[in-house]
Structure 1
Amino acid sequence: MSESGGPDVTQELRLPWDDDPEELYEHAPCGYLTSLPDGTVVRVNQTFLTWTGYARSDLIGHRRFRDLLTPGDQIYHETHYAPLLVMQGEVHEIALEVVRADGRRVPVLVNSVLERNQGGAPRLIRTMIFNASERRGYEKELLAARHTAEAAERRIRALQRIVADLAAAPSEAEVAEAVVRAPEAAFEATSSSIYLVDAERDQLVAVASTDPTTGNWDDMPRSSARAVAEVARRGDLHVVGDLADAAEHFPDLAETMTRSGRQTVVLLPLTTGPADEQPGITVLGLLAFSFARRRVLTDGELRMIRLLGQQAGQALDRARLYDELGRREERASFLAATTRALEAEHRLLQRSRRLVERVVPEIADWATVRLHVGPAGLREDAGGPAPAEDLLDARIAEATRSVTPVFATGGDRLDCTVLPLTASGKVLGTLSLRMAADRRGAEAERAFLADLADRAGLALENARLYEQERAIARSLQRSLLATDVPAGDPRFALETHYQAAGRDLEVGGDWFDAFLITGRKLAVVVGDVVGRGLEAASTMGQLRSAIRALATSDNGPARLLEGLDRFCQRVESARMATVVYAEIDLDGCELVYACAGHLPPLLHQPAGPAEFLLRGRSGPIGTRAGDRRRTEHRVTLTPGSRLLLYTDGLIERRDRPVDRGFEVLGREFSRLRGAPLKGLAAALADTMVGREHGDDVCLLCLTLGAEERLERTLGADPLQIALLRSDMRAWLLGHGVDTACLNAVLLACSEAVADAIEHGYRDDPFGVVDVSATVTADAVEIRVADHGSWRGPEQARGSGRRLIEESMDEVLFDRGDGTTVTMRRRRGHAR
């Protein structure tokens, strides 16, 4: 007991025996070395000898401590360990490796203390050595675990990036590009290739590879015996660990591995569907990647590889749905645009040409349309190169006979698909085309082509029917337009012109007519029926017949329009037609006219400007609203007056007011007042509307009686001479000039005008020739004047001048400012 009464702790901790210090030294749990300052071992305990397998006599006095270390540690001892010990007097926990007597290495931790004598000089080095074998093992395990964790983390990050790329990839091709890069990033693979399943062609299609030269990287049937196809059929991951394994199961893969030097190959199906139900999965492709060295994949790596296959399969499935949706939208858009493009054309040949233009190059690189129209048919081609003609003819014959599409087999690069263009079970022709390489063979594409053929066939049939109806209407309209207008009467002359719509649309209802009611009364009419097409043309004919039936010497224009109102009660399609009708008393020179909703006639008398006749107006034919009374108006005419009747297509435009149209027409009609009547209506239509106009134009121009004096101004164009001859012939007949005199005057006048154009305006296409003529009781006098530059008097001599002098009784040439030829021929005088 202690003095305080408690237990004596010191007494209780005292052992019943005393330890031997020597025993503690020899068998301590660590090695002890004592060495001289040069490192020579002078003392060592048994523990160290047991670890290293040396005998005490092998070390003491014979070996230095550094001699027991590995070569690398010996260098470290000289450069770091010994200098540090001298400077500090001690070193702690230096990791070294001691070489055992049998040559094996023992990892150790070393602590050393340098003892000095009284003078401070080094005397001894005491070293304590701990065996670090287990610790080194622990460290290696920890380091390996750390490396494994880091590698797994890298793979996870790589897979996360790949999954993000897959999620952002909208198309199958972009998914394939992301997947083929995954093995190198995630597993440090040497190369990789990806194949996608084409279910319709039952093939595996080689899509992308980081090194296509490493194997047979090409398309193959899914039934192939090659490793890629077999693993794709199995639908599960397969790892080929060495060449022997490959030779046993996949000879083609063994050959590839031998040629490329690859040691490990992974074949990963890209699947979609339940991961734990093998029958429920769908293989959409296969990823093959390899390693240049032998690689043993851990369970974690295999799980990540399978996960990659599932993620890639889902991305492919989504991309295929997206691609299919895009293709459907693209096809629907193409079909809609093609339908609109075909509807914009109205002719059969134009529609077939537009069809080919739409097909090439958007969906095909070559196409042709053959229509069974006419004895030789019609054909339109685009793109190239074309298939062999005999192959094309055979395909077309087969498609026409079977009335079903004949699709390309895909074996020949120049093979083509032939689609019959049908309507109501009848083959109108064929569309032959060669699809672009990336669009061949798909079932959806075949359905798309069938739909295209149906739409094209319907469009072409509509065009054919349109042309048929148009031809009938044109023929009917030509037959109904007055082609038998009175002619050869010296009291008047008629000029007519009809111009169909420049856009080549349906036939309209514009028409004209002229006929003699009695021997002294002439009727002229221009009308416009509402609507277009065959019905309008038919109504126009009925109206024309009705007007001729109602036109009598007693009725007059107003009563005739009232009769047309009653006619509309039986012919509803004639309702709202517009008509301008006029009767001319040829002997009394009086005009009586009436307008039923039509544009006003335009009159130009020899004296004064052109004027629109704005009286005698009422509503269109069959008008039920407003004042139904019909009115007419009388105008006294002077011989030589010109009257123009026309339809609204001559003046109406969307881009200008109607008043402006009237103004332009009045100015142009006045400008052409001195022009020959022949061709005047056509020239006026050209000036007013040109050739590209969306409405029909109909004109009738009447010249009343023979002008007292004929005055014409001609352009320096030889074609004008024929018009002048026709106009002058009518004028001379109107004045009763005998035939001999008439022919002589026409010949001489024509030669004089031709000389003026040829010699006076040889370098001036804008020159004009003025012609004037008068008739007296005994003679006809002609004056032809130009303002050109003749090259001397000899130019006027020659065959032309001799004809003039031989034809006329008197001829005078006056050369001043240009040349004037004055000629005179006596009437009733034979030369």
Structure 2
Amino acid sequence: MTESGEGGPDVTQDLRVPWEEDPGDLYEHAPCGYLTTLPDGTIVKVNETFLAWSGYERTDLVGRRRFRDLLGAGDRIYHETHYAPLLNMRGSVSEVAFDLIRKDGRRLPILVNSVLGRDSSGLPRAVRTTVFNATERRSYEKELLAARRAAEASEQRVGALQQVVADLAAAPTAAEVGDAVVRAPGAAFGAEGAQVWLLDADRAQLTLLAGADGGAPAGDDIPLASSRPVARVARRGDLHVIGSVAEAEKHFPELAETMRRTGHRTMVLLPLTAGFAGESVGAEVLGVLSFGFGEERELSDSELRVVRLLGHQAGQALDRARLYDDARRREERATFLAETTRALDEVPRLLPRARRLIDRLVPRMAEWAAVRLQVGPAPLLAGEGGPVPDPERLAQRVALVTANNKAELTDDGPDRDLAVLPLAVGGRVLGTLALRMAPGRPPASAEASFLGDLADRVALALENARLYEQERAVARTLQRSLLASDLPGDPRFAVETHYQAAAQDLEVGGDWFDAFLITPDKLAVVVGDVVGRGIDAATTMGQLRSAIRALASAEAGPARLLERLDRFVDRVESARMATVAYAEVDLSSNELTYACAGHLPPLLAEPGSAPAYLLEGRSGALGTLAGRRARIEHRVPLAAGSRLLLYTDGLIERRTRGIDAGFAMLARAYAGRRASPLPGLTAGLAANLVGPEHADDVCLLCLALGTEDRLERSIGADPQLIASLRADLRGWLASHGVDEQTAQAVLLASSEAVANAIEHGYRNDPFGIVDITTVVSAEAVEVRITDRGDWQNPHGDLARGRGLRLMEQAMDEVTFDRTDGTTVTMRRARGQR
């Protein structure tokens, strides 16, 4: 050994190899492949290592193949689009991964490093490439990739669980919990056909809460005592994993059939429990989650831990949802009771109130409901919905509840979820409320407290309505007793009146009418309206009516009578501001004198003329003259057959329209009834303009004056109108002095002819019109009945039946004209036959 430097040993002499290295051998048998290619990629030199790896002979490659020809299709594209441009641009490329296609077609993973050599002018001359075998590296990468995928799957399961936990935290109801849970198996495990079953402890059954693609149809309830796997898991509270159809066939035959139908090869049934995590003892089962896989698979321990954790989280969420549902249901019940009470109070009448109750119950709370009240000799009934319980069994339950004053609640059998509740006030049973709980509602037994509160409120509301109707009937009787009932009768005039009380007002109103004879030849008619309502208004109304009768005289006249009433209201303060339309008719001269104290103007219809309002003779309401005591009146001559209408403001005044529109509507309606019989005319006007549910009193008086030379009337094709026509015709015949026997014959024949015209001429036309014209001479009475209907059989019953025989027996002559419709002309001589 020799020293070097400052005396140290020279170790380089000992590092020499004992043989001389051959550079050519180093190139050929290097641990990597070497190859040299021209710039176009043609291989010009390759070592033995590369040939051994590729399986080619040197003569197969040198000068014959390009390097890229040895690569797979995708790698060739990458070589052309990325590798070659990068090499030309940078001069070298390192660790590019390719798949080398060996001569036998197998793939060899390789890593490639290339350097581009250039000549003195900088042009590409050759590419030197080293190739490394990457087989072991590729295996390591696959193992690493498998581990990464397993980690990603675990992370996916954890993420899915975290997501479902977040969804469950935001799910306030059981239905929303079910929707969140049913998505978890697919996201966490790639499962399919997930279903969530909710345990109903009250009914001891499992109900499908979410998911309907796992073999069970929606709405399929499973008794808890059933042998079905879902019920068994709910009873036992443990996890079941069925790994194959064969295993299911052995232990769960029903589940095996479901798996074959749905294509599942593995099934998981998981109890949803509320309690401490990881503890099964004492944990309450609230439901079951089931899901399946399309292939047989074995769940790993980590997957099973995630499954159990999912069941616990879902159970906790269901427990919270149950508490939330209970609170929400209590709030809903309280709101329903309050709203129902208000809704019933809006309807004062008994039967409408009972019907509104049914409308409130069905279908929101009940599938079917009925109220039965004993309010007289016959029960009052209201019901709606279905299916209706068996009538006989229901009647038995109603009788039992009525007798015992105790509710009957049924949760099973043919009357499932049926409740019959007593409606009692002060210990006295007024009737019963029967209902069947709506689908999805708790059973009747679970709603016993709510149903009891409902029955108590309903009973009180219906009792108040019964008392209201009783008091209302008393009030109406009192009110009508204060109205004039002894209206005068005379062949020279006829009076028709109508009073309609406010539909929803219990108090007596102040509208009134009267008609009386001042002298045998002077008639007074009056309509008035006292301010206010109640007993005071009714008393004032009676005082005014009596005062007018006492103050009216042959010499006074309307203006002086109103002046005396002004002095009267100075002593009767409640009569101040009352309005009056007062008229006197001289029956000998047919002259009308009228005056209006703040009241709406009378409406006069004379033969051949349109109705006109009488706008003269007007002054302020009673007691409002402020020292000015003079009242004015106006005189109008009347033709025979004129009709005068007096009325109160309830007939035409509305908040939704102007008073002029009301006047116009009344005039049109009055003109349309000008040819109608007087009986029923005022009631018809009120029905046309007001309707039954009006909020104000309505009072009308119509005076028909003088004897018409010809009675011309028109009635609709309604048999009920014949009675009004008979009454009108009877009065007209009497005013002309027609004897009783002749009058009866004319009335009988006319009624038969009109009835036949309606029955045969207008059997298919309810809007048809029948015209009646009657003329009286000194010798006879002649009647003409005309219709324009289409008689399907011109002779029909009229030619052969009882109607024609009656007319021929009652009248002297009966003829028919069928030129335009049908006209029956009849004549009867006056006096005895």
TM-score, length-normalised on structure 2?
0.64
Partner of 2:496: 496
Match of 1:711, as an amino acid?
A: R
Offset at residue 799 of structure 1 (A): 8.1
CA distance in 2, matches of 1:711, 1:188: 97
| Partner Cα distance (2:610, 2:200) in 1 | 83
Question: Of residues 739, 743, 747 in structure 2, which corresponds to 1:746?
Answer: 743
Match of 1:650 in 2: 651
Where do 1:668-687 residues align within 5 Å?
Answer: 677-682=678-683, 684-685=685-686
1:133-282 paired onto structure 2 within 5 Å: 145-146=147-148, 148-160=150-162, 162-163=164-165, 166=168, 171-180=173-182, 182-183=184-185, 185-187=187-189, 194-198=196-200, 207=209, 218-220=222-224, 228-229=233-234, 232=237, 255-256=251-252, 267=270, 269-271=272-274
Instruction: Give the Cα–Cα distance (whole angstroms) in 2 for the partners of residues 638 and 144 of structure 1.
Output: 114
Question: AA paired with 2:714?
Answer: G
Pair 1:714 & 2:713 matched: yes
Equivalent pair of 1:410/1:440 in contact (CA under 8 Å): no
Query: Following TM superposition, by how much is the alpha carbon of 1:7 offset from its aligned partner in structure 2, in angstroms?
Result: 0.9
**CA deviation string 1:408-447 (max 9, x = no partner):** 3345554511223344554332211111342123887445
Summarize the alignment of residues 86-485 of structure 1 with structure 2, pairs less than 5 Å apart: 145-146=147-148, 148-160=150-162, 162-163=164-165, 166=168, 171-180=173-182, 182-183=184-185, 185-187=187-189, 194-198=196-200, 207=209, 218-220=222-224, 228-229=233-234, 232=237, 255-256=251-252, 267=270, 269-271=272-274, 284-287=286-289, 295=298, 297-298=300-301, 300-301=302-303, 304-317=306-319, 319-320=321-322, 323=325, 327=329, 338=340, 342-343=344-345, 345-389=347-391, 391-400=393-402, 403=405, 405-410=407-412, 412=414, 414-423=416-425, 426-441=428-443, 445-485=447-487
Rounded to whole Å, the distance in 1 between the matches of 2:464 and 2:471 is 10
For 1:111, the equivalent position in structure 2 comes to none
- What's the Cα RMSD here? 5.8
SS at match of 2:367: strand
Amino acid in structure 1 at the alignment position of 2:649: D
Deviation (angstroms), 1:6: 3.1
Q: Deviations over 1:249-273 (max 9, x none)?
A: xxx999449985999977554447x
Percent identity, aligned pairs only, is: 46
Q: Cα gap change, 1:629/1:5 in structure 2, threshold over 3 Å: closer, same or farther?
A: same
Change (3 A) 1:226 1:519: closer
Aligned partner of 2:132 in structure 1 is none
Q: Which residue of 2 aligns with 1:596?
A: 597
Change (3 A) 1:448 1:254: farther
Shift of the 585–786 alpha-carbon distance from structure 1 to 2, 3 Å rule, reads closer
Determine the C-alpha separation between the residues in 1 that align with 2:502 and 2:365. Answer: 33
Specify whether residues 193 and 496 from structure 1 end up closer, same or farther in structure 2 by C-alpha distance, changes over 3 A only: closer
Separation in 2 of the partners of 1:217 and 1:603?
A: 75
* Counterpart contact for 1:421–1:429, Cα < 8 Å: yes
1:404 and 1:813 map into 2 onto residues whose CA distance is 72
Aligned-partner Cα distance in 2 for 1:345–1:484: 35
AA of the residue aligned to 1:729: L
Partner residue in 2 for 1:119 = none
Q: Name the counterpart of 1:97.
A: none
* Equivalent residue letter for 2:633: H
- Pair 1:515-2:537 in alignment: no
Deviation string, structure 1 residues 108-164 (Cα, Å, up to 9, x no partner): xxxxxxxxxxxxxxxxxxxxxxxx99x999999867754642431232344355446
Structure 2 residue matching 1:469: 3-state secondary structure: helix
Higher alpha-carbon Rg: 1
Tell me how far apart the structure 1 counterparts of residues 328 and 7 of structure 2 sit (CA, whole Å): 96
Distance 1:604 1:635, change over 3 A: farther
SS at match of 2:596: strand
Match of 2:631 in 1: 631
Q: Structure 2 unaligned runs (5+)?
A: 19-50, 62-134, 260-264, 763-767
- Contact 1:271/1:283 (8 A) holds in 2: yes
Deviations 1:336-385 (A, max 9, x none): 66556545544322332333244233332222211121123122333333
Write the deviation string for residues 56-109 of structure 1: whole angstroms up to 9, x where unpaired: xxxxxxxxxxxxxxxxxxxxxxx99794699999xxxxxxxxxxxxxxxxxxxx
Residues 652 and 661 in structure 1, CA contact (< 8 A), matched pair in contact too: yes
Residue 392 of structure 1 aligns to a residue whose secondary structure is helix
By how many angstroms is 1:645 displaced? 1.9
Provide the C-alpha distance between the structure 2 equivalents of 1:265 and 1:649, rounded to a whole number of angstroms: 76
User: d(CA) in 1 for partners of 2:523 and 2:374?
Assistant: 50
1:673-706 deviation per Cα after TM superposition (whole angstroms, max 9, x unaligned):
67665555445556655777655432223345x5
Q: 1:746 is matched by which residue type in structure 2?
A: A
> Where does residue 122 of structure 1 map in the other structure?
none
Structure 2 vs 1, CA of residues 424 and 801 (structure 1 numbering), >3 Å: closer, same or farther? closer
Please report how far the alpha carbon of residue 723 of structure 1 lies from its aligned counterpart in structure 2 after TM superposition: 3.9
1:604-623 to structure 2, matched below 5 A, reads: 611-621=612-622
Structure 1 residues 637, 304: closer, same or farther in 2, change over 3 A? same
**Cα distance in 2, alignment partners of residues 198 and 722 from structure 1:** 72
The CA distance in 2 between the partners of 1:426 and 1:153, in whole Å, is: 69
Tell me the secondary structure at the aligned position of residue 156 of structure 1. Answer: helix
Q: 1:142 to 1:467 in 2, by over 3 A?
A: same
Q: Give the aligned length.
A: 684
Counterpart AA for 2:494 = L
Q: Tell me the amino acid that sits aligned with residue 500 of structure 1.
A: Q
Q: Deviations over 1:585-622 (max 9, x none)?
A: 55676655443322123345679875544344444456
8 Å contact from structure 1 (residues 618, 630) kept in 2: no
CA distance in 2, matches of 1:259, 1:753: 85
Question: What's the CA shift string for 1:177-227, capped at 9, x where partnerless?
Answer: 4424534653467987645454666776664687569xx9944389x9987
Q: Secondary structure at the match of 2:408?
A: coil
Instruction: Measure, in 2, the Cα distance between the counterparts of 1:313 and 1:749.
Output: 90
SS at match of 1:396: helix
Alignment check: 8 A CA contact 2:583 2:593 kept = yes
Contact 1:498–1:698, Cα closer than 8 Å, also in 2: yes
CA distance in 1, matches of 2:187, 2:604: 93
Please state whether the residue corresponding to 1:467 is helix, strand or coil: helix
- Secondary structure of residue in 2 paired with 1:407: strand
In structure 2, what is the Cα distance between the partners aligned to 1:682 and 1:697? 10
Which amino acid counterpart does residue 645 of structure 2 have in structure 1? L
Kept in 1, the 8 Å contact 2:812–2:827? The answer is: no
Q: Cα gap change, 1:557/1:675 in structure 2, threshold over 3 Å: closer, same or farther?
A: farther
In the TM superposition, residue 559 of structure 1 has moved relative to its aligned partner by 4.2
- TM-score of the two chains, using structure 1 as the length reference: 0.64
Displacement of 1:742 in angstroms is 3.1
SS at match of 1:600: coil
